[in-house]
């Protein structure tokens, strides 16, 4: 049996909850959906559940399948990401917020956790500057559970090994990685 990979999502808004769903609905992943407080994180999970309710009502999804996916999503603040293998940050498109988030995460997450940002417009190199590990861009398109494309944006500090790993993860969740 394949090992479970733990993925932390920082930011439980539309993008963050969509990315959380994309991982949780794939076999072999558990998700920590985080926000600045438990209520915001729980709202993100509820957004996913509401989407499932619509699909169940239309006969496009079984309740059992929805329950199984939702059970793989734990909500909280970023402190629950201690044993995550990958963290995807989907916070506001504000450089200082992203830099501060990763600065805090490096003290929370294990040393081999991969840091990824969902930014579409900010410099991934600048986001990762001064951290103990590189940050890679992993930009999902909205709605994340549906859209196939994920832009993989290599920062100056990002190793080819990390790029390869992120491309493989993108593939595993049935998305298409494109280098930008």
Catalytic residue among 78, 139, 154, 175: 139
d(CA 150, CA 178): 6
What torsion, rounded to 10 degrees, do the Cα atoms 140, 104, 131, 128 define? 30
How crowded is residue 33: how many other Cβ atoms within 10 Å of its Cβ? 31
Is 114 annotated in the active site? no
The candidate with the shortest Cα–Cα distance to 122, out of 96, 157, 160, is 96
Peptide bond into 143 cis (omega under 30): yes
Q: Which of 127, 116, 93, 99 is nearest to 163 (CA)?
A: 116
Q: Where in the sequence numbering do the catalytic residues fall?
A: 139
């Amino acid at each position: 049996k394949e090992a479970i990979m733990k993925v932390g999502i920082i930011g439980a808004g539309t993008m963050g909850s969509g990315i959380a769903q994309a991982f949780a609905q794939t076999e072999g992943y558990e998700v920590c959906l985080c926000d600045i407080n438990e209520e915001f994180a729980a709202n993100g999970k509820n957004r996913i559940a509401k989407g499932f309710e619509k699909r169940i009502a239309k006969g496009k999804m079984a309740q059992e399948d929805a329950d199984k996916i939702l059970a793989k999503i734990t909500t909280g603040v970023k402190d629950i990401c201690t044993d995550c293998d990958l963290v995807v940050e989907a916070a506001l498109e504000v450089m200082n917020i992203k830099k501060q988030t990763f600065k805090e995460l490096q003290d929370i997450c294990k040393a081999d956790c991969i840091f990824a940002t969902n930014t579409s417009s900010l410099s991934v190199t600048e986001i990762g500057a001064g951290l103990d590990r590189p940050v890679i861009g992993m930009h999902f398109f909205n709605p994340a559970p549906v859209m196939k494309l994920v832009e993989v944006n290599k920062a100056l500090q990002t190793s080819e090994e990390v790029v390869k790993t992120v491309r493989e993860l993108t593939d595993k969740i049935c998305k298409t990685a494109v280098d930008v």
